[in-house]
Amino acid sequence: MDEFMQEAIAEAKLGRSEGGIPIGSVLVKNDKILGRGHNKRVQDNDPVTHAEIDCLRNAGRIGNYQDATLYSTLMPCYLCAGAVVQFGIKKVVAGESVTFAGAREFMESHGVEVIDLNLDECKQLMREFIQEKQQLWNEDIGN
């Protein structure tokens, strides 16, 4: 498995250990991690602190994002896909999209290359979380 996806998975596990939703993300440019984050909606009581948003905040201002790749353990939602498009990130690598289809078509329609790795480990993280905390998951996806 790609080392950067492994780092995103580590972020997802960290979020879960904090009582949050197990979704993690890293931003990579020139084979270097510039930022990392995980979903902190529960921890920060903030509805927009998704993993990708936390990752971008932690990366800080990097200037040009066009050569950066965003890794996320789950296909980004429209909020996070909007950030991808807004900042000109041209490549997103998702761990899976079975649990949540996300906004793949939106990103692709704006010229973003989207790769879905369909990883069992990412699906298992979400499956276990949803079994334990269905109501929290429904809140996260707006159901």
Judged against a pLDDT cut of 80, whether residue 132 lies above it is answered with yes
Give domain limits for the chain. Answer: 3-141
Instruction: Classify strands 91-94 and 113-116 as parallel, antiparallel or unpaired.
Output: parallel
Give the chain's mean pLDDT. 95
State in Å, rounded, how far the first CA of the chain is from the last one. Answer: 32
The angle that helices 78-87 and 51-59 make with each other, rounded to 10 degrees, is: 30
CA distances from 32 to 3, 7, 29, 53, 67 (A): 11, 12, 5, 18, 11
pLDDT exceeds cutoff 70 at 1: no
Q: What are phi and psi of 59, to 5 degrees?
A: -70, -30
DSSP symbols for 120-137: HHHHHHHHHHHHH-HHHH
pLDDT of residue 141: 74
Catalytic residue among 3, 52, 128, 139: 52
Question: Does the annotation count 52 as an active-site position?
Answer: yes
> What element of type H or E holds 91?
strand 91-94
What is the separation of C-alpha 119 from the centre of its chain, rounded to a whole number of angstroms?
Answer: 14
8-60 pLDDT, tens digit per residue, is 999 999 999 999 999 999 999 999 999 999 999 999 999 999 999 999 999 99
Pick the CATH number of 3-141 from 3.40.140.10, 2.40.70.10, 3.40.50.1380, 2.40.30.20: 3.40.140.10
pLDDT of residue 103: 97
**How much of the chain, in percent, has pLDDT values that exceed 90?**
90
Joined tokens for residue 65: 């994002």
CB 62 within 8 A of CB 29: yes
